[in-house]
Structure 1
Amino acid sequence: MKKRESFNNQWGFILACIGSAVGMGNIWMFPTRVSMYGGGAYLLLYIIFVALIGFTGVIGEMSLGRAAKSGPIDAFGLACESKGKRKLGEILGLIPVLGSLAMAIGYTVVMGWILKYMIGSFTGSTLSPQDTADFAGKFGNMASSFGNNLWQFFALAAGIGILMFGVGRGIEKANKIMMPVFFVLFIILGIYVFFQPGSADGYKYIFTIDTQYLFSPKTWVYALGQAFFSLSVAGSGTLIYGSYLSDNEDIPKAAGRVALFDTIAAMLAALVIIPAMATTGARLNQGGPGLLFIYLPALFKSMPGGYIIAVIFFIAVFLAGLSSLINLYEAPVATIQEKFKLNRKISCSVIAVFALIVSLCIQGIVSEWMDVLSIYICPLGAGLAGIMFFWVLGKKYVENQVNLGHTNKFTDKFYPVCKYIYCPVCILVLILGIVFGGIG
């Protein structure tokens, strides 16, 4: 039997998981929510929820993946096999796999936009519009149906190209380069913004706790949503990366580092973007693609050395996005590879052809596409993974798996917290997403 691929060392695995977690949510959503929901108050709640989900859901999905040595289909099948219902588990395992593929397809569209703006930051076209209205018009044309075909193709090719090299030579090596470079580039941006007149107001807002926001339900809801989606608990990406781990790896320690660096990435984005907006006297109240492709380019154009700042910024954003893209595609690629006994390159090619066709067709509706996935499929996948591991497989199995490679026995509180708090939180995120029209 062919030996299963694996990460070469724990830091390679950790950097890959950090790469999967660090994405557009950190860059175009976190700073906006910090700005809109009370600065330090929102930040405090966000950190609490990151700690909760990082030390429950992230550990759980990594451990379930390692136990199954496979993706969600076989992992869910393994869980249900203990109840004599393996086929049911495998069918349920299709939900996070298909969700991951659908999310990757939507993300491919966004990555095409980012790649175009990154290249344009070198040529000057990214900052060529004259005012905010012109930037909005440029983005609208690009984000329309079939408005960015070529760059979208190249973005997909970059992600699939890395995946073709496999886990150790592809995913791990790419993230060992991309993640350090991402953090260095954002630190450079942070230093630049620090010396801009007026930036101090931004820092003051970020770290001031306005207690009235602690009594606002929206602050709690969006802090929970941000933490939940930022840590990539969806029953797919984190689980599949965990499946490549050896029994000697310390999963609780790895999960802690992933949560820490994901939070640092989000904070770096906030420490760049909010103070940068403060230099103009404006308050950040625009998130999503509009922030990244309209308001920030317009801001960069008005700043000293703006063209250089745009180059650094869009390179960093592209690296963050690419690391998330390869994680999203890994679950469906691995599933094709394992279920149909195809080699790595053919599996990647099959997924790439399908993804290219669908992603080109959804360019004009990608926002609605991603909303459906984030509201329904991601929390459903996370909830199913949690139920399979913590409810179906049970306490003894969970504790044995989590303690593999861990120096001392992990806390006795882990299992009850996961079973009775984390799993209901997944259901809560699903309900809140439906009520609020998305909280991720």
Structure 2
Amino acid sequence: MASLRDGFQSRLGFVLAAAGAAVGLGNIWGFPTQAANHGGGAFLLVYFIVVFLLALPALYTELYIGHQAQSNPVKALSLAWSEKQPKVGALAGYIGLFGAIVMLSFYSIVAGWMLSHALEPVTTFLGLSDVSRFLTEDSMARNFVFTPLMVLLTASIIFKGVKSGIEKWSRRLMPMLLVLLIALIAYIATLPGAKEGFETYLKPDFSKVTDPDLIIAAMGQAFFSLSLGVGCMMIYGSYLKPNENLPKLTLSVAMLDTAVAFLAGLLIIPAIFVAQQHGVQVFQDGKLIGEGRLIFAVLPELFNTMGEVGVFVALCFFVLMSIASVTSTISSTEIPVSFLVENHGVTRRAATWAVSATVLLASIIIILNFDWLFGLVITVFTQYQLPLMGLFYFITVGWVWRRGNQLALECHGNIYYFALYVKYVCPVLMTAVFVNVALR
């Protein structure tokens, strides 16, 4: 049966798909916002350190579990815990499935906003002012139009499987994302105020490097930006061929994801200072106004000050954001779909419809109770489930899983030292992240 299982056909396809799963709104939206609010270059420096010390081992651990098991997270974690408590492993897998559904429920809403804002420059160019207003104003009606569209767009890719769907579209979308990102950076760099933004971003204030809030923010951002903790990387790792060089591929994914986050900072932070140069209020009491509203408030105001060229810049920017959204939604959707296909013998098409319907229903519940439920879901998911699941993966590989766990069995060379690092250091670091986030 293993030979019949769908999978990635090339290393490049895997790297682009896995990086696409990681490169989401957290990189292009969350990372620059965190950097702007935590000392710019100081945050960037600490972020790079944390990626190396914590996020990279966490990424390898999650990919490793899936790659060794060659199955979905429920099966993989059950196998890893088979000698101890297989039900504990299975339960963790189900928590990951639930987390993927929860993440998709709010991510599909936000992705719908990106899609509607991507269409707005077109309607503005055509002179359809009423439609433009509908596309950019917060409303339940807009959510009920664009959330289902994003769910259906994701489903249309998942229908086709790993090789013909996920890998094929990742190879198309990720290069497009990089081209748009670099082109926008080049344009923003020519505008008044951009120089100050680049200096703020690239010159660290070393007095802020030891700020506990900055360190915790960098650790959390590094972990979350790699899409760790719900099983995205585990399922993608399971689709790799058994003889692949996992350490090399892990490094490639982490480097590409970190590069996109770095480039996003090169775009967003200078753009913030350009907006400020144009009279847009950006900071208040040293903090970025609105934080989460940066994408839909500050930057659109900037685009509006650019005249006709601003319409084109806005189009490119929100197409970029929409691509980042889709590459993340397809990876999260694949987790429950693979579970239904492999554990319950459901066809991929039926599984995709079932998962999409469930996600849409959950999204509708959030839309109808938006004021209190949206923020609660994001907080519980990002601040509690992800770090706890990451800690669980470290414990699984370092302390529980023995049979078939080559990382734990190897007793020589660099693998031995890395195994010790995963076993002793990573759980302590991950616990520190969770405790500090929980106490804030």
- TM-score, normalising length from structure 2? 0.90
CA distance change for structure 1 residues 370 and 402 in 2, over 3 Å: closer, same or farther?
farther
Once the two structures are TM-superposed, the CA of residue 424 in structure 1 deviates from its matched residue by 2.6
1:370 aligns with 2:348: no
Cα distance change of structure 1 residues 287 and 88 upon mapping to structure 2, 3 Å threshold: same
Residue aligning to 1:121 = 121
- Output one character per residue of 1:118-146: Cα deviation in whole Å (capped at 9) or x when no partner: 111221289999xxxx99x986633xx55
* C-alpha displacement of 1:87: 2.6
| Candidates 240, 243, 246, aligned match of 2:238 | 243
2:179 alignment counterpart: 184
Aligned CA distance change for structure 1 residues 396 and 76 (closer, same or farther; 3 Å): closer
Is the Cα–Cα contact under 8 Å of residues 28 and 287 in structure 1 kept in the other structure? no
| Alignment counterpart, residue 294 of structure 2, candidates 286, 291, 295 | 291
1:261 is aligned to 256
Deviation at 1:31, TM superposition (A): 1.1
Task: State how 1:66-85 maps to structure 2 within 5 Å.
Answer: 66-83=67-84, 85=85
Structure 1 vs Structure 2 CA RMSD: 2.5
Q: 1:44-98, CA deviations, whole angstroms, 9 ceiling, x for partnerless residues?
A: 1000111123431111111110111112211111111122x32332123211111
Distance 1:397 1:435, change over 3 A: same
Describe how 1:3-402 pairs up with structure 2 within 5 A.
Answer: 3-83=4-84, 85-124=85-124, 141-142=138-139, 145=140, 147-279=142-274, 280-281=276-277, 282-283=282-283, 285-286=288-289, 288-304=291-307, 305-363=309-367, 364=370, 365-394=373-402, 397-399=405-407
Instruction: Note if contact 1:72-1:93 (Cα within 8 Å) is conserved in structure 2.
Output: yes
- Partner-residue secondary structure (3-state), 2:405: helix
Displacement of 1:411 after TM fit? 4.0
**Whole-angstrom distance in 2 between the partners of 1:349 and 1:394:** 37
The aligned amino acid for 1:203 is: F
Query: Separation in 2 of the partners of 1:127 and 1:294?
Result: 21
Paired with 2:376 and 2:328, the residues of 1 have a C-alpha distance of 20
Letter of the 2:382 partner, please give it: S
- State the match for 2:419 in structure 1: 415
- Say if 2:431 is the partner of 1:427: yes
Q: Give the conservation status (yes or no) of the 8 Å contact 2:40–2:201.
A: yes
Q: C-alpha distance in 2, partners of 1:232/1:435?
A: 23
For 1:330 and 1:146, how far apart are their aligned partners in 2?
A: 28
Could you tell me how far 1:27 is from its partner in structure 2? 1.6
In 2, distance between residues paired with 1:337 and 1:430? 33
Percentage of pairs with the same residue: 32
The range that moved more, 223-232 or 209-218, is 209-218
| 3-state SS, counterpart of residue 244 of structure 2 | coil
Instruction: Measure, in 2, the Cα distance between the counterparts of 1:34 and 1:96.
Output: 29
- CA shift digits 1:264-308 (9 cap, x unpaired): 111111111111221233557146540111111111111251100
Query: C-alpha distance in 2, partners of 1:331/1:302?
Result: 43
Is the CA contact (8 Å cut-off) linking 2:116 and 2:136 kept in structure 1? no
| Residue type at the aligned position of 1:30 | F
Deviations 1:213-248 (CA, angstroms, capped at 9, x unpaired): 113111101011110101111041001100111122
Rounded to whole Å, the distance in 2 between the matches of 1:345 and 1:249 is: 29
Distance in structure 2 (CA, Å) of the matches to 1:56 and 1:255? 9
- Aligned amino acid, residue 390 of structure 2: A
Contact 2:59 2:233 in 1 (8 A): yes
8 Å CA contact 1:389, 1:398 repeated in 2: no
1:245/1:255 Cα in 2 relative to 1: closer, same or farther (>3 Å)?
same
Distance between the aligned counterparts of 2:432 and 2:40, measured in 1? 24
Aligned residue identity for 2:326: L
